[in-house]
Structure 1
């Protein structure tokens, strides 16, 4: 009876995780499209998009953390929520100085958020498997953050273009993770 209850809970959590990854994919795809259209031609639009991106990450991590056992069981996500909120505020402050500062802020955030995402994915691997794309995404995010920091000190195209490329790659990783979970669910149904 206990094993059956645990199986039902696991299936429900896995279903949520799959939906969560699809939602993250859709948001990122829309954000990237807006960044390459509105963000490229409107400084105000770019500023809004650059604040929305980490704010969305904070909200998404908060909702996922809440649906996945709360703060006590998801310390990496709780920390990610705080860092993403602080990043949204820091982007606003950096925007008033220059775009290089904005890219530097995104660099620090990408490193920290990537490492925290990697930690979350490793923890989830034990329960759900199919987390290799999230592990790669976290590691690649940290590397991209280091490049952002280096690029923040050089003449460059608008930060929105660099961040949009980063977000597009992230969307692919979320999509791959959602599809892997979907395939796993289909295999279990067939078996």
Structure 2
């Protein structure tokens, strides 16, 4: 490998990390706002709660599509392409489940959390060598999968779940995205000083 190729590769990796840093901060910020809204509006009109429940997976679909496009397109990022499709189908499934019960909605979120967690884990594992800050994404994927199983169990309980049942899941997602963004920021600062 020539020196020019090495420099080009380094620029591509650092450019990718710069994108991921912005992306992770954006994902963290959105999730924090959503969690605050979910707790603050939990007892609001049904339409408000329904809108929040639809916005969350729809946002995930859009975010995965944009990230995949910024990293070489959907063909080069099959786990994100599939994650975007799963989140899109989840948005539709949540709309249908809202006509049934909150237990049905929680069940849909359970399946989604489990699937998207596995896909996030696979994406982070694929990016491990080329990008920094992936270990929190791996932990997030594992935790999302576990939360999905917990939601499925809770969905069968006689108690009627609230949107606040889902909010801690989103809060942990925000935490992991924030840790990844901060990790990349620190890495960037250290790289500039070196």
Say whether the fold is shared (TM-score over 0.5). yes
The aligned residue for residue 152 of structure 2 is 149
Instruction: Determine the structure 2 residue equivalent to 1:22.
Output: 25
CA contact (8 A) 1:39 1:49 kept: no
Q: 1:135 aligns with which of 138, 141, 160?
A: 138
What corresponds to 1:56 in structure 2? 59
1:156 shift after superposition: 3.0
| 1:41-52 superposed matches below 5 A | 41-52=44-55
Q: Secondary structure at the match of 1:101?
A: helix
CA distance in 1, matches of 2:155, 2:136: 28
Shift of 1:157: 4.9
Count, aligned residues: 191
User: Matched residues in 1 for 2:131 and 2:166: separation?
Assistant: 30
Q: Distance in 2 between matches of 1:156 and 1:124?
A: 41
Answer yes or no: is the 8 Å Cα contact 1:40–1:161 preserved in 2: no
Q: Deviations over 1:98-125 (max 9, x none)?
A: 1100000000000000000000011111
The answer for the alignment partner of 2:178 in structure 1 is 175
Which structure 2 residue ranges, 5 or more long, are not aligned? none
Q: TM-score, normalised by structure 1?
A: 0.97
Structure 1 residue 159: Cα displacement: 3.3
- TM-score normalised by the chain length of structure 2: 0.96
Structure 1 Cα separation of the partners of residues 93 and 133 of structure 2:
34
The separation in 2 between residues aligned to 1:126 and 1:2, in whole angstroms, is 17
- Per-residue displacement from partner, 1:137-173 (whole Å, max 9, x unpaired)? 0000000000000000113353311111100111000
CA distance in 2, matches of 1:176, 1:158: 29
Q: Which runs of 5+ in 1 are unaligned?
A: none
Alignment match of 1:9 (pick from 7, 12, 19): 12
Alignment match, 2:163: 160
Q: Distance in 2 between matches of 1:181 and 1:14?
A: 7
Contact 1:24/1:171 (<8 A) preserved: yes
Match of 1:184 in 2: 187
Q: Does 1:68 align with 2:71?
A: yes
Report the Cα offset of residue 16 of structure 1.
Answer: 0.3
Q: Which has the higher helix share?
A: 1
Q: Which residue of 1 aligns with 2:37?
A: 34
